[in-house]
Amino acid sequence: MITLEHVSFRYPSGLLALNNIDLNIQGGDFVAIMGENGAGKTTLAKQMNGLLKPSQGRVLVDDQDTKKVSVAQLARKVGLVFQNPDHLLFSETVKDEVAFGLKNFGYQPEVVEKQVERTLEALGLTEYKDTSPFLLSGGERKRVALASILASEPDYLILDEPTIGQDYLQKERLRNFILQLYSQGKAVVMITHDVEFVAESNPKVILLSKGEIVATGSADSVLSKDELVTRVSLVKPQMSRLFGTLSRYGLPRDVVDVHRARMLLEEKLSEAKATVP
Amino acid sequence: MLTPALLFASVWVMIILLAFQIPLLFMGRVARRWALSLRAGIFLSALIFVVNYFTGSIFSAIALTLRFLVLLTAFSLFFMTTSPDDLGLALDRIGAVRWLSRKWLGYPNALSFTFTTAVRLVPTLAVDAQTVVDAQRSRGLELDKGNLFRRIRNYIPILIPLLLIAIRRSLELAEALESRGFPGKEGRTSLFQLKLKASDYAVISVSAVAILLSIWVFLHYKVPVF
């Protein structure tokens, strides 16, 4: 379990990036952290694997205070995938890139090879295993970056803007992959601006604004509220905008995803059909 | 400052120069940042001291270490109080720079523009460097692990992404510049016009006198190390 207790963080420049954050993340959780630019989302992610230590309060990863353990030790448990793959890709081949973390953690060569193959397979990258990561497209590079973290099977996975630069098919695959991970008992934390992706995946949503948590709840309860969504510079998902105008027909306002929308509309339409002679 | 510091390897000269520089640091409100660059220079000054102590005397070691500090302070003073934009504008006004730039690069303001761009990319690159270090540490990289050789190798995963980011950014910058019509026509004007004020003339004359005086002293007297 990752526990943040009254965490505040001030950058050396004096900027208060996080203000009194309390948060719990455990296996099987799927959490989306959303908020305006500069709200402190990435700072919060860096607190979870010890890259940044809280100025006040404390962060515990499986009951270990992040101030007392090295980032390398924490990285075995907490995998943080950075937003821009260009900040981490450096190897000659995709295979070596994915093996880098495993080697740092001191795994045996056979284990490294097995894990690399499994991860590449899972992310549809096997055909590129001997290609240079720099020859791949932006979306593929992003998947290589994800693979390089996933290969060591961290218990907690933190994704910073995973959907940027991915086409719909890849987003769909990513969603299924995340689903698979948290149903295996791992925790997935996703930092994102992508309201539609969040609406369709239905995680627990945490809204962050100016370094403070302003709302926590299910995607449909948080993303359907105008005042909350506007406060963090987002727009409501399309389904929510549609159902906001349909409430006079007795439909609920808090619908954000296509699946639930379809169920409700089908029900309503069949009722209507029944009453019309 | 630079001329006497380089001409004389004397403890007293260095102390006098430092005595001139320190009030300037406070006048320019850069004393705190200077202290930071001083901290970064500690290792190098220790090295200079040790090397000169074993090759010369204790006094020459002190003098040369102080010389390093004088040079460091002089450069800090200049770069911390002069904005790179102003420096670029000033370079653009120097006839010799424009002439060289036209001969060499084809446009009179290309050289000063190159300088301004290079200086301006430094802080951006520093932010990228921090992100790359963070990203690799998140993959279990420990920079300060192993023997010296291993430690140098540890920096490969930092340097390669950083280099590629820098190259990619400069190519993008070149495209952006071309799409905005760089270098434009001859006789480009600038929004801010630099003008020499009375205080500028004062600084120039004081510097000129100091340079001439130190050359004169150098030619006629032998200044002892201590």
Phi, psi of A205 (to 5 degrees): -105, 135
ipTM, 2 dp: 0.87
State the smallest CA–CA distance between residue A248 and chain B in angstroms.
50
Q: Where in chain A is the domain with CATH 3.40.50.300?
A: 2-219
- Per-residue model confidence as pLDDT tens for chain A (277 residues): 999 999 999 998 889 999 999 999 999 999 999 999 989 999 999 999 999 999 999 999 999 999 999 999 999 999 999 999 999 999 999 999 999 999 999 999 999 999 999 999 988 899 999 999 999 988 899 999 999 999 999 999 999 999 988 888 889 988 998 998 988 999 999 999 999 999 999 899 999 999 999 999 999 899 988 899 889 888 899 999 899 888 888 888 888 888 899 999 999 888 888 887 6
CB contact under 8 A, B139 and A104: yes
Rounded to 5°, the CA angle A234-A238-A242 comes to 120
Burial track B26-63 (b if 16+ CB lie within 10 A, e otherwise): eebebeeebeeeeeebeeebeebbeebbeeeeebbbbb
Closest CA to A75 of B30, B103, B134: B134
Q: A34 to chain B nearest CA, in Å?
A: 21
pLDDT for res B153: 86
B37 pLDDT above the threshold of 70: yes
Burial class (CB in 10 A: 0-12, 13-18, 19+), A97: buried
Cβ distance A152 to B140 less than 8 Å, yes or no, reads yes
Q: Nearest chain A residue to B140 by CA: give it.
A: A72
The pLDDT of residue B182 = 79
- The β-bridge partners of A33 are A191, A206
Pick from B138, B160, B161: CB nearest A51: B138
Q: Which residues of A touch B141 (CB under 8 A)?
A: 72, 100, 104
Tokens of B78: 């200049």
Whether residue B157 and residue A90 make contact (CB cut-off 8 A), yes or no, is: yes
Question: How high is the mean pLDDT of chain B?
Answer: 85
Residues from chain B contacting residue A71 (CB–CB below 8 Å): 137-138
Indicate yes or no: CB of A71 within 8 angstroms of CB of B137: yes
Interchain pair A89, B161: CB under 8 A? yes
**Tens of pLDDT along B149-173?**
888 888 999 999 999 999 999 999 9
Q: Which residues in chain B are contacts of A79 at CB distance < 8 A?
A: 138
Enumerate the residues of chain B whose CB falls inside 8 A of the CB of residue A90: 156-157, 160-161
Per-residue pLDDT, A23: 94
Q: How far is B160 from chain A (nearest CA, A)?
A: 6
- Report the gap between the CA of A71 and the closest CA in chain B (Å): 7
Q: Do A149 and B142 touch (CB under 8 A)?
A: no
CB A188 within 8 A of CB A179: no
Predicted pLDDT of residue B1? 63
Distance of alpha carbon A21 from alpha carbon A78, whole angstroms: 19
Cα first-last separation, chain B: 19
pTM of the full predicted structure? 0.78
Q: How many C-beta neighbours within 10 Å does residue B123 have? A: 10
Please, are residues A148 and B136 in contact by the beta-carbon 8 Å criterion? no
Place of tokens 């120097």: B94
Q: Which pLDDT value is given to residue A71?
A: 93
**Shortest alpha-carbon distance between residue B151 and chain A (Å):** 13
The string of DSSP letters for chain B reads: -HHHHHH---HHHHHHHHHHHHHHHHHTT-HHHHHHHHHHTHHHHHHHHHHHHHHS-HHHHHHHHHHHHHHHHHHHHHHHHS-HHHHHHHHHH-HHHHHHHHHHHSSTTHHHHHHHHHHHHHHHHHHHHHHHHHHHHTTT--TT-SSHHHHHHHTHHHHHHHHHHHHHHHHHHHHHHHHTTTT--SS---SSPP---HHHHHHHHHHHHHHHHHHHHHHH------
**Is the CB of B140 less than 8 angstroms away from the CB of A101?**
yes
Per the CB < 8 Å rule, is B165 touching A70? no
CB contact under 8 A, B138 and A152: no
Residues of A with CB under 8 A from a CB of B: 46, 49, 51, 70-72, 75-76, 79-80, 82, 84, 86-90, 100-101, 104-105, 134, 148-149, 152
More confident residue, B116 or A145: A145
The tokens for B212 are: 């001439």
Report residue B214 CA to chain centroid gap: 23
CA distance B129 to chain A (A): 9
The Cα A243–Cα A246 span in angstroms is 5
Q: What are the residues whose beta carbons fall under 8 Å from the beta carbon of B183, sequence distance 6 or more?
A: B107, B109, B110, B113
- Residue A87 to residue B132, Cβ atoms within 8 A: yes
Place of tokens 């204790």: B58
CATH of A2-219, one of 3.40.50.2300, 3.10.180.10, 3.40.50.300, 3.40.190.290: 3.40.50.300
Residue A277 is predicted with a pLDDT of: 67
- Give the pair of three-digit tokens for residue A113: 């090879």
